Structure 1
Amino acid sequence: MITVQAPDGAPEVGPGDDLAALVADLFDLADGDVVTVTSKVVSKAEGRVRPGTRDDALPDETRRVVARRGPTTIVRTSHGLTLAAAGIDASNVAPGTVVLLPEDPDASARAIRESLLARTGRNVGVLVTDTAGRAWREGQVDIAIGAAGLRVIVDLAGSVDAHGNELAVTAPAVADELAGAAELAQGKLTARPFALVRGRDDLVLPAGEHGPGAAALVRPDGADLFGYGAREAVVRALRGGEQDRAAFGAPAEPDELVEAIREVLPGATVEAAAGSVVVAGGDVRTLSGLAFAFGWRPVDAVDDAPGGDGLRFRPATP
């Protein structure tokens, strides 16, 4: 059985406050418990509150802009997280100030875990949580942005179900599931920043082993398939800046590029051979944008290509 507690009574947190002491006062901890702490109180304790607005703080918290739609800006942060407004929060703080995410949420989780062990003698897992939207669904859920002493993902690839089917890519992000469960008890307007999830001690690592942290849940640039929004991807590909390549992922196979060129430029002559793609006909800017999006680049002109003079493209990286 899994139970979740999120009691009232937590005081307002300020710079330098001992979060482990607050947790120890609120809960009667047991080995194998999972403690969740909202990123906001971690940030407040670590002095990550600053004057100004979200727009003022956004540039310094942004690694790159992923998409913009009206007043909403989705960015990839220095942590690798993809969040609206870089996770900067203007709620439950004094007017005229905003709260930034913790600088290193995994390190914050480790510090709380170690302090709880020293203070209570209990071996628990710790999650730092934050609220995030989803690309394909309305609403928001809480996710783990920091973790210590916890298996954050369970890889079930190779397991067999009750019907004898082998699982291929099933890997529950259990840290995010625990964060979501905690938020159900915490709510958003109830001043309950701490929660305790009991009943998944199988996920808690031995004392002294902190595990990979929530950073292990972040897909690297180019691996998430959605490195830019739909409009932004078109602009970035046509602009062709070298600094934008990573978000488009590894170079596609030649036949994928050939198929795309034939779909967009049906009048062009396309030939793939010896690790290159040669194209005759078609608008050069459009060709270059397509090639960029697929991880390729033009390398030289070809004066005897089928269909007339053309351009040769090769993968941008080996």
Structure 2
Amino acid sequence: MNEGITVTAPRGVPEVRKGDDLAALLLDALEAPLTDGDIVVVTSKVVSKAEGQVREGVRDDALPGETTRVVARRGPTQIVRSRLGLTMAAAGIDASNVEAGHIVLLPLDPDASARALRATLRDRTGANVGVIITDTAGRAWRDGQTDIAIGAAGLEVVESFAGQVDAYGNDLVVTAPAVVDEIASAAEISQGKLGARPFAILRGRADLVREPGDDGPGASALIRPEGSDFFGFGAREAVVRALKGAPEDQTPFGAPASVEELSAAVEEVTGTAPIPHGDGLLVEDADPAVVAALAFAHGWRCEPAKNNPGATSLSLPLTT
């Protein structure tokens, strides 16, 4: 049982530039030495600056190269899945706290950056610490932003309570706090956005820090694989992609739906109940384009029915 935590963000860190030694900057700013079990939190902004991820230009210049696909658009705002697998506005490209006319890209490999910093701190201080690299992100369904972990080393990234029982005797089945994200947000409160305090030290959760040499799975373990997210596209984009039906757009819709789920969706939209047909469905008296879009969104193949003009056959999932 932890007795509480403390978070401190040291002042006096100078402007970080390409090639700077982040471990030295942190250690110079600390008022007390690092100890075993400390968790070092550092903003991705200074990691990127030290690694030379600053570019001249504006977000739109760099966005295509940082994007694997667009998730949603609202006016000029683009929510994208980035090259790191993160789903963020503008792929996390930032134009704040940087010289005018420049932008900062996210680190090339935040988990690797965290591992390197952890190893350096171990070499120089002897302390076994965990390291988290953070960035700011919005949340679905809620206004405002919070900091999340985009890189981690030497830490449990998730606490699993599955199989345990609460104080009322209820089984905990899927309770799994993403503790590295929680720590990232706690650190951000101490750091602030305008205080030039890119580092924070959290104490009181040494139980989360792994043994020396064991860096753990990293923050990338929290990224859901393509197709496993309930919200692979924004609401408008999902309609467009389903109607377009391009094969490269199918994966974000997820695993194929059951025949029962697809049948219910077709009946709800078209008013026509599909007829069971072998392992699939036969749809009569419905707009084929509408049926095709529904089939695509549910992961099924759609084609004209043989020997039944005007009917549509839904068969064999597009993916398995």
TM-score (structure 1 length as normaliser): 0.96
Please state if 1:40 is matched with 2:45: yes
Partner of 2:225: 220
Q: Kindly indicate whether the alpha-carbon contact (under 8 Å) linking 2:295 and 2:314 is maintained by their aligned counterparts in 1.
A: no
Instruction: Give the paired residue count.
Output: 315
Q: Structure 1 261/187 Cα, relative in aligned 2: closer, same or farther at 3 Å?
A: same
Please state if 1:198 is matched with 2:203: yes
Partner of 2:84: 79
Q: Could you tell me how far apart the structure 1 residues matched to 2:297 and 2:312 are?
A: 19
Q: Structure 1 15/252 Cα, relative in aligned 2: closer, same or farther at 3 Å?
A: same
Please state if 1:9 is matched with 2:12: yes
- Displacement of 1:269: 4.0
Q: Could you tell me how far apart the structure 2 residues matched to 1:304 and 1:144 are?
A: 55
Name the aligned partner's letter for residue 22 of structure 2.
L
Q: Could you tell me how far apart the structure 2 residues matched to 1:309 and 1:284 are?
A: 8
Q: Kindly indicate whether the alpha-carbon contact (under 8 Å) linking 2:282 and 2:305 is maintained by their aligned counterparts in 1.
A: no
- Displacement of 1:71: 1.8
Please state if 1:50 is matched with 2:37: no
Please state if 1:275 is matched with 2:240: no
Q: Kindly indicate whether the alpha-carbon contact (under 8 Å) linking 1:303 and 1:309 is maintained by their aligned counterparts in 2.
A: no
- Displacement of 1:312: 3.2
Residues 223-280 of structure 1, C-alpha deviations (whole Å, 9 max, x = no match): 11001100000000110011111100000111000000000000x3402354312211
Q: Could you tell me how far apart the structure 1 residues matched to 2:307 and 2:162 are?
A: 50
Q: Could you tell me how far apart the structure 1 residues matched to 2:16 and 2:123 are?
A: 21
Q: Kindly indicate whether the alpha-carbon contact (under 8 Å) linking 1:299 and 1:314 is maintained by their aligned counterparts in 2.
A: no
Query: Identity over aligned residues, as a percent?
Result: 62
Q: Could you tell me how far apart the structure 1 residues matched to 2:218 and 2:183 are?
A: 14
Please state if 1:24 is matched with 2:19: no
Mapping for residues 82-121 of structure 1, pairs under 5 Å: 82-121=87-126
Structure 2 regions of 5+ residues with no counterpart? none
Q: Kindly indicate whether the alpha-carbon contact (under 8 Å) linking 1:269 and 1:281 is maintained by their aligned counterparts in 2.
A: no
Partner of 2:318: 316
Q: Kindly indicate whether the alpha-carbon contact (under 8 Å) linking 2:301 and 2:317 is maintained by their aligned counterparts in 1.
A: yes
2:156 to 146, 151, 156: 151
Please state if 1:207 is matched with 2:212: yes
Please state if 1:253 is matched with 2:258: yes
Q: Could you tell me how far apart the structure 2 residues matched to 1:294 and 1:158 are?
A: 33
Residues 199-237 of structure 1, C-alpha deviations (whole Å, 9 max, x = no match): 000000000000000001111111110011000000001
- Displacement of 1:304: 5.2
Mapping for residues 115-130 of structure 1, pairs under 5 Å: 115-130=120-135
Q: Could you tell me how far apart the structure 1 residues matched to 2:246 and 2:19 are?
A: 43
Residues 26-60 of structure 1, C-alpha deviations (whole Å, 9 max, x = no match): 23101000000100000000000000000111111
Structure 1 regions of 5+ residues with no counterpart? none
Q: Kindly indicate whether the alpha-carbon contact (under 8 Å) linking 1:31 and 1:124 is maintained by their aligned counterparts in 2.
A: yes
- Displacement of 1:158: 1.3
Please state if 1:262 is matched with 2:267: yes
Name the aligned partner's letter for residue 7 of structure 1.
P
- Displacement of 1:300: 5.2
